[in-house]
DNA sequence: CTCCATTGGTCTGTTTCCAGACTTTTAGAA
DNA sequence: TTCTAAAAGTCTGGAAACAGACCAATGGAG
């Protein structure tokens, strides 16, 4: 265990199959509600460019999602790929199933990773002097998630968390946080949204923002850690 | 600026060219001294598997490094690719050159990213109860870097930093830290190693380990932040 | 001295992926 | 009603990457 740095350094160069990877990404964008129900995905050419893949590959992925009922594609001007998917209310077996879909150590890996990068992002942000526009944006996202109904909650919660990372101005860090979030999405989606939890989270979200705006890195870090620990404990509890 | 999460989510699926990416990786392993001067890289088949690429692609990369004088390849049993490279003493223009080789925002991005993930890793680790073996390893790495001579310094410093991430047991986090380190390697290599800096770093390294072993996440976070801030300030200073 | 395991070197056919040109559909503007 | 721009759909040739089998060298074991 924990052998030389070779292990970290000589890790896989490419994630795997471009097609599958793309399907996964788009699926996450849909499930996270980043592209909301009924909304249009960006045009193929644009999307392909952003994802760094060819149009052909992208289209294969889109077709797969179309056939699975996540997207509806319309041609012609003002056409495009529209999201036709609404997150179902999670049943009781769903979390178990989602957990089993992950490898054994994978859950811990994902949770640890998320804890580290999100705490790091909050800390970094709290060390900065934010511009008024940034402050406004952060407050806005906080208000959004606190005002969210059950159908919007996950989406706005995601937006709030990612907003912190994006405000650091580091694309690498933002990508890492997005990645971390992706790895627990399926699990989060399988947890029923309880109003008790929402209210609890709202307090924690507020504490995070407050600490950041107060330029207090330690408090920011702690607030995020506490917040994420709640989710982590919930998920880990189902493994017992 | 700071538009919707789409930006973080729909980032490139694959890093780029497998060949170039591989060359870069191997080069980093060499420059970081992870595979020391005169030592042998793992066998092709093994390496290809670890990097998740075909042997053909790997061999192309190896040949490129061979032709650039980084590796020497010997056939037959006990053959392999041997590192033939010794880091040159950095001259005065080197840092400038390395900095210019990066895009404008890239340096800030890399430094911010590094700050976040390494602080996060230290914090996470400090929340844990470490096994005796883990404690021994951490202390060992600390002692190694503090005992290092100028020729070994970078390598052992890298090993120490990565050790913290690896001890969290999260491959994702370890990979993120390795990645962050990679992005500033060229810059660090261009800085002359001053004994003053080494001594200063030694104190900070010790403080980090102490905080982790004391199970004090805040102090661990602060110690890492302070340590990295030193490097960051040094690099940023050259941009003025 | 012979054998053989281990390692790099080479070849072949296949799959994946790409770049780019071209076609078709469609909704709105003129 | 006609025209146009923006979008998806289609096609082709080629490059990149892979899988896997096979060859060649080499140093140590017996």
pLDDT digits 0-9 by tens, A198-212: 889 999 999 999 999
**In chain B, what residues touch A123 (CB-CB under 8 Å)?**
116, 119-120, 221, 225
Give me the percent of chain A exceeding a pLDDT of 90: 65
Tokens representing residue B224 in the block: 């890492």
CA of B204 vs C1' of D30, distance in Å? 56
Nearest to B9 by CA among A33, A72, A206: A33
pLDDT at A1 over 60: no
> Quick one: CA torsion of B5, B13, A12, A106, rounded to 10 degrees?
40
Query: What integer pLDDT is reported at residue B2 of this predicted model?
Result: 39
How much is the average pLDDT of A63-76?
96
User: Inter-chain contact B116–A115, Cβ cutoff 8 Å?
Assistant: no
Give the range among A16-20, A28-32, B107-111, B236-240 with minimum mean pLDDT.
B236-240
Residue A182: CA atoms inside 13 Å, Cβ hemisphere, count?
22
CA of A87 vs C1' of D11, distance in Å? 37
Q: How many helices (H) and strands (E) does chain A have?
A: 11, 2
Tokens representing residue B155 in the block: 């390598």
Q: B187 near B94, Cβ under 8 Å?
A: no
How much is the average pLDDT of A218-240?
90
User: Inter-chain contact B18–A15, Cβ cutoff 8 Å?
Assistant: no
Residue of B nearest to A116 (CA): B120
Q: Give exposure, A85-113, as e/b (b: 16+ Cβ within 10 Å).
A: bebeeeeeebbeebbeebeeeebbbbbbb
Query: What integer pLDDT is reported at residue A235 of this predicted model?
Result: 83
CATH of span B93-237 = 1.20.120.530
Say which nucleotide is closest to residue A79, CA to C1' distance.
Answer: D7
- Give the pLDDT band (50/70/90) at residue A240: low
pLDDT at A3 over 70: no
pLDDT at A180 over 90: yes
Return the residue in B1, B3, B6, B10 with the most chain A beta carbons within 10 A, the one to mutate for interface testing. B10
CA angle A162/B215/A111 to nearest 5° reads 30
pLDDT at A237 over 70: yes
Query: What integer pLDDT is reported at residue A58 of this predicted model?
Result: 98
Residues of chain A with CATH 1.10.10.10: 18-83
How much is the average pLDDT of A167-194?
90
Q: What is the mean pLDDT of each run of 10 residues along chain B (240 residues)?
A: 61 89 93 88 96 97 97 95 86 74 86 98 97 97 91 88 96 94 87 83 97 98 97 80
CA of B56 vs C1' of D20, distance in Å? 12
**In chain B, what residues touch A120 (CB-CB under 8 Å)?**
115-120, 123
The whole-angstrom separation of Cα A97 and Cα A102 is: 9
The top-level CATH class assigned to B18-83 is: mainly alpha
Min Cα separation A61/chain B (Å): 12
Residue of B nearest to A20 (CA): B13
Residues of chain B with CATH 1.20.120.530: 93-237
């Amino acid at each position: 265990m924990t052998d030389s740095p070779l292990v970290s350094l000589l890790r896989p160069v490419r994630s795997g199959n471009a097609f599958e990877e793309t399907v996964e990404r788009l699926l996450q964008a849909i499930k996270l509600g980043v592209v909301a129900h009924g909304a249009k995905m960006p045009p193929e050419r644009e999307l392909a460019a952003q994802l760094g893949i060819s149009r052909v590959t992208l289209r294969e992925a889109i077709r797969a999602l179309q056939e699975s009922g996540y997207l509806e594609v319309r041609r012609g001007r003002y056409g495009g790929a529209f999201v036709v998917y609404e997150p179902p209310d999670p049943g009781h077996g769903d979390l178990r199933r989602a957990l089993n879909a992950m490898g054994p150590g994978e859950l811990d890996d994902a949770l640890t990773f998320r804890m580290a990068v999100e705490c790091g992002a909050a800390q970094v942000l709290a060390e900065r002097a934010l511009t008024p526009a940034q402050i406004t944006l952060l407050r806005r996202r906080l208000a959004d998630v606190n005002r969210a109904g059950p159908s919007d909650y996950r989406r706005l919660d995601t937006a709030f968390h990612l907003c912190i990372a994006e405000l650091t101005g580091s694309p690498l860090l933002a990508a890492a946080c997005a990645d971390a979030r992706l790895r627990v999405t399926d699990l989060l989606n399988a947890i029923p949204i309880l109003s008790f939890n929402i209210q609890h989270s709202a307090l924690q979200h507020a504490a995070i923002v407050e600490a950041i705006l107060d330029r207090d890195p330690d408090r920011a870090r702690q607030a995020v850690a506490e917040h994420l620990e709640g989710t982590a404990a919930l998920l880990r509890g189902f493994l017992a």
